[in-house]
Amino acid sequence: MSHPVSISVSDLSIRFPVYGVDAKSLKKHLARVTVGGRLGSSMAGATEVRALSKLNLELRAGDRLGLIGHNGSGKTTLLRALSGAYEPDEGMIDIHGHIAALLDLGLGIDPSATGYDNIRLRGRIAGLSAKEIELKMDEIAEFTGLGPFLAMPVKTYSAGMQARLAFAAATAVEADVLLMDEWIAVGDADIQKLAHKRLLNLVERAGILVLASHDLDLLRLYCNKVMRLEGGVASPVTDIRKLAELMAA
């Protein structure tokens, strides 16, 4: 029997050593920008930035969690930790379900390969078989709107074209857990509408969504829960209807 989809995070702490920087000057710099992790010093004499501190989180199927907070507050670090890109320094992450991470749309794109080959590459990275990718190819190709450009190397594409290709490939996967960082704008208003619809379909099929965004309307549209991060410290998870209160806190 398969385990129901879930995310369980207990006392998660992630620290990054910063070498070659005087702790006092870094503290002054962080004080000026007023955001960023907590500072400490590590054994090796390097300055240490605590990106996440003792974070606890429990999510079940149907939970759609929005992450809010300034740049540098720990939102992306948490998403990367959930995706398996960062190992916890302390604490534990336990996830049941297939994860799809839409964190960096450029990740896994080979500029010298064609659009078609890049779709295949992204599909394999996402865990699809060659056959599954070919079955989805027409649909992905149509969504990109790139037509004959798909047979050309990606290095000939504009930034907007590359984003559309990456977005189409990344959102073609089925996932139990969907992790999304500030959804990257992918072109004109028509594409935005299509992308919106595609994301809503993906979110409806996913068991759990964790979305980091500064766009409060987007969070209200997609999420039913919200958590605020400040200097790597998380607020309790609360109902999305209390978003305004949480922002003002």
171 close to 120: Cβ distance less than 8 angstroms: no
Any domain includes 222: yes
Q: Which residue range(s) make up the domain with 90?
A: 6-98+212-248
Any domain includes 107: no
Q: What is the mean pLDDT of residues 65-73?
A: 92
168 vs 36, residue with greater confidence: 168
- Count of alpha carbons within 13 Å of 138, Cβ hemisphere only? 1
Any domain includes 19: yes
46 — pLDDT class (breaks 50, 70, 90): low
Q: What is the pLDDT of residues 120-137, one digit of tens each?
A: 988 887 778 899 999 999
Q: What is the mean pLDDT of residues 16-22?
A: 70
Q: Which residues contact 164 (CB under 8 A, 6 or more apart)?
A: 144, 145, 146, 186, 187, 191
Query: What was the pLDDT predicted at 79?
Result: 95
Any domain includes 70: yes
CATH, residue 17: 3.40.50.300
Any domain includes 158: no
Any domain includes 29: yes
Any domain includes 226: yes
Per the structure, how many domains does the chain have? 1
pTM for the complete prediction?
0.81
